[in-house]
Amino acid sequence: MVDMKHTFANLSIGIVFLLLSACQPVDSTTIENEKSQIVQSTPSNLKSFKIGGIGFGTSSEIIKTKMGSPNQIIPEIMMCEDDIVCETWEYDNTSIYFYDGKLEGMDTKSTSMCLFDDVCPNQPIEDVYAHIGKTKIWPASSDKPALLQYLSITNEACWLWVFLNATKDTVQELRLACQP
């Protein structure tokens, strides 16, 4: 009769050995350098940033006055509580996300929707670095292009993603968002 207790123990030891042998040692200095690079280049006031003069907390009425009626309004049923209205307003090359009637995020490929005066889609990456600072370029994935990622270092959960073109030298899209 096979001793299942010892067989299981040997199998477990073998799996642990296999997993450990596949792992590469991590250099803590490299981790700290990357962490430091991201923190040093991250603005602390992302919530005060505006794209096209529109910032977080702007009401849907003000945005409608400034940008006109959207091409489409999409209710976001899954993302909201019963008594909160969440929706996405779609414009040409721009999506605006609302939580309870106030802006909580925006994506834009529109060259007229700029962060500051000259961080716009189709502008050089140097303009981003000049205004916000350098950060690591995250590689492209199957569902998004390479990007610069800036995270708020305050208690607010905000981020700015600057998507880059294929040659990684020009802004393709801006995405600014905060968790409600």
Give the CATH number, domain containing residue 113.
Answer: 2.60.460
- Asked if residue 16 is part of any domain, the answer here is no
- Whole-angstrom Cα distance, residue 174 to residue 179? 17
Q: For residue range 76-120, list pLDDT tens digits in order.
A: 766 677 677 789 999 999 999 998 889 999 999 999 999 987 899
- Whole-angstrom Cα distance, residue 51 to residue 113? 6
- The better pLDDT of the pair 73, 16 is held by 73
> CB–CB of 97/105 below 8 Å?
yes
Q: Does residue 160 have a pLDDT over 60? A: yes
- Asked if residue 3 is part of any domain, the answer here is no
Please name the helix (run of DSSP H) or strand (run of DSSP E) that holds residue 81, with its range, or none: none
Which residues share a beta bridge with 54?
51
In this prediction the pTM is: 0.71
Structure letter (DSSP) for residue 24? P
Q: How confident is the model at residue 45 (pLDDT cuts 50, 70, 90)?
A: confident
Looking at the structure of the chain, the number of domains it has is 1
